């Protein structure tokens, strides 16, 4: 059946019918005209060739229906894939826009909170001192490691200002919420893409 792929769709039926008819005509002519000298001399060859044409024509007559059905299925599937790709692109745009907008809001809130730190919290840097133990604990927690418990390191007052610590915590929270929105966006993207492409089946 692979040979059919080289024949244009509009010619397939015509070619197959012609092969089939040549086989029938050859067999009939071989029987009817067997008394003619030329035909009788080549009768076996004509009958053999006609029989082969008849077999090939019959085979392709049966196979062409299956071939057309498969070609139609492929075309339908290609059309569905095109529609799915278009839907997928829309989903990408919607989700990306949503993530960008939410991330923008989170950044604005974070920047607003940092401005609050700069305006208000910095006023208390002289009256609010932080211990080295607090800074060590914060650094350990931010790096997801166990804080050191060395007495020399943890004792005494740190040079880190309260406003610097609060600013860092505020920025970290902002980063957390941005990352959270990206993860939620990826989950939504996967769910929607799966729904789109499952519709192709």
pLDDT of residue 69: 79
The torsion angles phi and psi of 157, rounded to 5 degrees, stand at -95, 135
pLDDT of residue 74: 85
The torsion angles phi and psi of 131, rounded to 5 degrees, stand at -80, 155
Please give the full DSSP string across 76-129, using - where no structure is assigned.
HHHHHHHHHHHHHHHHHHHHHHHHHHHHHHHHHHHHHHHHHHHHTGGGGTTT--
pLDDT of residue 54: 76
Predicted confidence band at 42 (pLDDT cuts at 50, 70, 90)?
low
Distance CA 195, CA 90 (A): 13
Helix locations, the chain, DSSP H:
9-32, 37-41, 43-119, 132-142, 151-154, 162-198
Whether residue 143 is predicted with pLDDT greater than 80 in this model: the reply is: yes
Distance CA 87, CA 68 (A): 28
pTM over 0.75: no
Predicted confidence band at 33 (pLDDT cuts at 50, 70, 90)?
low
Most confident of 49-58, 177-186, 189-198: 177-186
Most confident of 25-29, 44-48, 102-106, 134-138: 102-106
Whether residue 119 is predicted with pLDDT greater than 70 in this model: the reply is: yes
For 148-169, the pLDDT digits (tens) are 766 556 678 888 899 999 999 9
For 66-105, the pLDDT digits (tens) are 777 777 888 888 888 898 889 899 999 999 999 999 999 9
Between 155 and 6, where is the model more confident? 155
189's tokens? 């993207």
Cα separation values, 114 from 48, 49, 127, 166, 176, Å: 94, 92, 20, 9, 15
How many other C-beta atoms are found inside a 10 Å radius of the C-beta of residue 20?
A: 19
Between 141 and 100, where is the model more confident? 100
Token pair 């197959």 is at which residue? Answer: 16
pLDDT of residue 7: 60
Please answer whether residues 84 and 200 qualify as being in contact, where contact means their C-beta atoms are separated by less than 8 angstroms.
Answer: yes
pLDDT of residue 167: 94
Burial class (CB in 10 A: 0-12, 13-18, 19+), 164: middle
Whether residue 10 is predicted with pLDDT greater than 80 in this model: the reply is: no
Average pLDDT, the chain: 82
């Amino acid at each position: 059946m692979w040979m059919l792929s080289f024949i244009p769709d509009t010619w397939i039926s015509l070619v197959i019918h012609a092969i089939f008819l040549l086989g029938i005509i050859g067999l009939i002519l071989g029987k009817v005209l067997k008394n003619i000298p030329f035909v009788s001399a080549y009768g076996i060859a004509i009958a053999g060739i006609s029989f082969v044409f008849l077999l090939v024509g019959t085979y392709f007559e049966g196979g062409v229906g299956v071939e057309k059905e498969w070609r139609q299925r492929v075309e339908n599937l290609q059309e569905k894939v095109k529609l799915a790709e278009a839907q997928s692109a829309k989903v990408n745009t919607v989700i990306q826009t949503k993530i960008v907008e939410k991330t923008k809001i989170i950044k604005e809130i974070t920047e607003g909170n940092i401005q609050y730190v700069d305006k208000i919290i910095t006023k208390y840097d002289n009256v609010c001192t932080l211990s080295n133990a607090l800074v060590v604990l914060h650094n350990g927690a931010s790096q997801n490691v166990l804080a050191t418990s060395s007495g020399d390191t943890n004792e005494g007052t740190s040079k880190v200002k309260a406003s610097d610590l609060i600013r860092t915590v505020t920025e970290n929270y902002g980063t957390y919420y941005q990352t959270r929105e990206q993860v939620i966006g990826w989950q939504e993207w996967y769910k929607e893409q799966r729904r789109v492409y499952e519709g192709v089946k």
